[in-house]
Chain A
Amino acid sequence: MPNEEYLEGKYFIQGRDFVDAGIVSSEMKKYLKEKGIPEGIIRKVAVVTFEAEVNIISYAEQGTIKCYIEPDSVTIEARDIGVGIEDVELAQQEGYSTADDSIREMGFGAGMGLANIKNHSDEFEISSVPNEGTYLKSTIYLNGK
């Protein structure tokens, strides 16, 4: 766990609110820009945050996304209370999805979200307890790997 003293931003997300996905990611992006984080890093964080946000909206009752800026990295932590994931390995496989039609109709639910997060992270961790919730952590190094 990153030290709390590096806590930089915390955003609350209401589950099942598809009206406007991306608000948290957009706020996060503006915030990192103000902090002078390089554009290429911000673009990676935007992908990670957006997918984490969409997952919370799709599958959780509620959740939070936190962002920690450290001298050599940016870390995104997403935590939710919700249905959780039975098999986190399977859930990371591209194309695997449990999305219902309401999610798919909006162009989500293709089973690419976690794969996107993983591909845009330098370090990636996920753990979940079914019917309790999911924890996800993504770290992006400021100077590449």
Chain B
Amino acid sequence: MENNHTRKTQEMTLQTLIDELGLKCKCCWEKLGNEIEGGYAGDLLSDVMGNSKKGDIWVTRQVHLNIVAVASLKEHAGIVIVQGASPDKDTIEKAQKEGIPIMVSDLPEFELVGKIYHLMHHAQ
């Protein structure tokens, strides 16, 4: 039905991603226990708005603050920004306010998504 949407088969939290994939957390450390129920990758905000699900980990290359609105409205578990990009200062401030954890990774989007998918479906 949704071609780049996936649901997990293993229990997983944001902390698992940090531990296993070396992500760096930028805000909302207190929410790293958020459970990840699925994942979505995308840089077009309407695509993510229309197709992602509650509890998803959202992987994107976008850094401006409107990503927080999308993640908050869709109730995502958190956002991972890829390719070594840094979220804008406003983005972090809004994420802190809305309680949306933002993590960053140096990996390219394709590679990171592959690793998260593997963790979700083949862990242990």
- Quick one: given A20-B65, A22-B66, A112-B50, are A107 and B73 in contact (CB under 8 Å)? no
Q: Is B5 an interface residue (CB 8 A)?
A: no
Contact B70 A22 (CB under 8 A): yes
Q: Is A108 an interface residue (CB 8 A)?
A: yes
Interface residues of chain B: helix, strand, loop or mixed (majority): helix
Least Cβ–Cβ distance between B39 and chain A, in angstroms = 18
Across the interface, name the chain A residue whose C-beta is closest to B50.
Answer: A116
Q: Is B49 an interface residue (CB 8 A)?
A: yes
The interface of chain B, by Cβ under 8 A from chain A, is 43-47, 49-50, 54, 62, 64-70, 72-75, 94, 98
Contact A47 B66 (CB under 8 A): no
Contact B46 A26 (CB under 8 A): no
Contact B50 A110 (CB under 8 A): no
Give A54 to B49 CA distance when docked, in angstroms.
Answer: 12
- Quick one: given A43-B54, A51-B49, A119-B50, are A107 and B62 in contact (CB under 8 Å)? yes
Contact B62 A25 (CB under 8 A): no
- Quick one: given A18-B66, A21-B66, are A107 and B45 in contact (CB under 8 Å)? yes
Q: How many interface residues does chain A have, given as a range?
A: 20 to 34
Give A113 to B54 CA distance when docked, in angstroms.
Answer: 19
Contact A50 B62 (CB under 8 A): no
Q: Which of B44, B50, B65 has the most CB of A within 10 A?
A: B50
Give A120 to B52 CA distance when docked, in angstroms.
Answer: 13
- Quick one: given A51-B49, A110-B47, A112-B44, are A25 and B74 in contact (CB under 8 Å)? no
A51: chain B residues at CB < 8 Å are: 46, 49
Q: Is A29 an interface residue (CB 8 A)?
A: yes
Given contacts A20-B66, A22-B69, A47-B50, 8 further A-B contacts (CB under 8 A): A22-B68, A23-B69, A29-B73, A47-B49, A50-B73, A106-B66, A110-B45, A120-B50
